[in-house]
């Protein structure tokens, strides 16, 4: 009976989402109605379970990680350190073919380690890197694709909001998932860079060679870049290194990171107005995520009470599909959902079902988590509603930068992300090596 109710509520959930109801509201409605039906109309019992679930959902200190990392990233962005980082990468990599695109990838790789949000990276490098690539005659779709594609690294390289949400839903260690994303993130960045170099060699017209730095910085600009570049590297060492070496819990590392980012921002010229705006922006970004997490915990409670996971596992068993075919089906569902809704909502909808199913089939939970994040990242570039594509479109001050050109330019990155995802699944050690060393 419980399994039938869960399936019925899943159907209602899908209908509500297709009708345009906010994902958090849809989750809360279906969870509340489902629990009410399970308790045979006992309103008091249903409300007690839902209220207790909502309270338990956000009382853990691990939830403080999300607003703290968002705030840390906003401080770094407003300080101008992202621009410093890009110019340093440009001068370091200037002898490579397609160097500005590679500098964009390198900048996003490092910037991702202090933001945790791909949208922030896409918005930043749309304004910083795209104009410079166009000045040097880069093909427009190639330049746009480099910005949108490399921004996906923000969801994988720690600290990542998606990794935090995944860890909370599956009750895994946030620190373990953070360090698990480092090697796959580096592999993906190298794959992106290799693609740019090969494409620039094969078709020089898409990335004309130019081995001089973009600008000859003054001594004051060099000092500013040094502060920004070294500040970001120090921040990464403090946050990620502190977690890896066991000096901090993820929550403590996030708090210390905010303090360090604030110091960098003040040295770089941030003052009261910018600091207050960063606080407001962190709140605006975090509040919807927290609401979604509360609704998702209600949804997970419905699945648990109704035996939904076991019921759905039984459906897959009855289909007699090989484990790899089940994984392919999960990836297909993630990509389809990526065309329609945002990444956090995808995780909230599917992970409570998919993660236990993958573990039951013998897949390593850490490797599966990184695989899932990568596939969901690919969804950020999927037409017709790839979130990063629209972010780049909205951030680039160029009316000729059409959605079609951004989708076309980012398609190779979409394929590379999927290749990296299945590489992690085939070689779980790429994701588990660092977490095992941490234990």
Report the number of distinct structural domains present in the chain. 1
CB 388 within 8 A of CB 193: no
Range(s) of the domain holding residue 220: 2-438
**pLDDT on residue 424:** 94
CA geometry: angle 340, 126, 233, nearest 5 deg: 105
Rounded to an integer, what distance in angstroms lies between the CA atom of residue 369 and that of residue 172? Answer: 10
In this predicted structure, the answer to whether residue 252 has a pLDDT above a threshold of 80 is: yes
Q: Residue 101 — pLDDT band, cuts 50, 70, 90?
A: confident
> What is the chain's mean pLDDT, rounded?
80
Give the whole-number percent of the chain exceeding pLDDT 90: 13
In this predicted structure, the answer to whether residue 60 has a pLDDT above a threshold of 70 is: no
CB 159 within 8 A of CB 185: no
pLDDT digit string, tens, across residues 140-172: 999 999 988 888 887 788 777 788 889 888 888
Q: 59, 107, 112, 109: which is closest to 83 by C-alpha?
A: 107
In this predicted structure, the answer to whether residue 74 has a pLDDT above a threshold of 90 is: no
> Between 55 and 176, where is the model more confident?
176
CB 175 within 8 A of CB 163: no
Cβ neighbourhood burial of 400 (10 Å; 0-12, 13-18, 19+): exposed
In our burial notation (b when 16+ CB lie closer than 10 A, e otherwise), range 30-59 reads bbbbbbbbbbeeeeeebeebbeebbeebee
Compute and round to an integer the Cα radius of gyration of the chain: 22
Mean pLDDT is highest, among 151-165, 174-188, 214-228, 418-432, for 418-432
Cβ neighbourhood burial of 136 (10 Å; 0-12, 13-18, 19+): middle
Helical H runs in 339-364? 343-360
What residues have CB less than 8 Å from 439, skipping those under 6 apart? Answer: 176
């Amino acid at each position: 009976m419980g399994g039938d109710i869960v399936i019925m509520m899943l159907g209602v959930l899908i209908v509500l989402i297709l009708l345009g109801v906010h994902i958090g509201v849809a989750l809360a409605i279906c969870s509340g109605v489902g629990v009410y039906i399970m308790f045979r109309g006992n309103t008091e019992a249903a409300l007690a379970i839902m209220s207790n679930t909502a309270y338990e959902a956000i009382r853990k200190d691990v939830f403080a990680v999300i607003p703290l990392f968002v705030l840390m990233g906003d401080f770094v962005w407003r300080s101008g350190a992202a621009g410093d980082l890009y110019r340093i990468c440009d001068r370091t990599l200037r002898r490579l073919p397609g160097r500005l695109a590679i500098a964009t990838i390198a900048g996003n790789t490092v910037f991702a380690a202090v933001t945790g949000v791909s949208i922030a990276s896409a918005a930043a490098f749309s304004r910083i890197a795209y104009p410079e690539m166009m000045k040097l005659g880069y093909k427009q779709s190639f330049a746009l694709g480099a910005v949108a594609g490399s921004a996906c690294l923000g969801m994988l390289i720690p600290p990542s909001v998606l990794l935090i949400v995944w860890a909370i839903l599956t009750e895994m260690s946030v620190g373990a998932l953070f360090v698990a994303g480092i090697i796959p993130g580096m592999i993906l960045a190298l794959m992106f860079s290799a693609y740019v170099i090969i494409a620039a060699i094969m078709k020089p017209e898409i990335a004309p060679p130019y081995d001089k730095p973009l600008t000859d910085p003054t001594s004051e600009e060099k000092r500013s870049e040094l502060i920004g570049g070294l500040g970001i590297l120090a921040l990464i060492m403090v946050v990620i290194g502190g977690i890896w070496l066991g000096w901090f819990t993820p929550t403590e590392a996030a708090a210390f990171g905010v303090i360090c980012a604030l110091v960098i921002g003040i040295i770089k010229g941030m003052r009261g107005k910018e600091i207050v705006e960063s606080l407001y922006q962190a709140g605006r970004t975090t509040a919807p995520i927290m609401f979604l997490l509360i609704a998702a915990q209600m949804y997970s409670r419905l699945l648990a009470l109704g035996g939904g996971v076991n019921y759905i596992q039984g459906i897959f068993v009855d289909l007699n599909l090989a484990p790899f075919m089940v994984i392919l089906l999960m990836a297909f569902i993630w990509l389809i959902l990526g065309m329609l809704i945002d990444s956090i909502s995808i995780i909230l909808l599917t992970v409570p079902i998919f993660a236990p199913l993958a573990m039951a089939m013998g897949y390593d939970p850490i490797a599966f988590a990184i695989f899932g994040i990568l596939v969901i990242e690919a969804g950020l570039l999927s037409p017709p509603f790839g979130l990063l594509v629209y972010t780049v479109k909205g951030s680039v001050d160029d009316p000729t930068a059409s959605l079609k050109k951004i989708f076309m330019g980012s398609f190779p990155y979409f394929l590379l992300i999927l290749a990296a995802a299945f590489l992690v699944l085939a070689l779980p050690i790429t994701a588990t090596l660092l977490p095992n060393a941490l234990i």
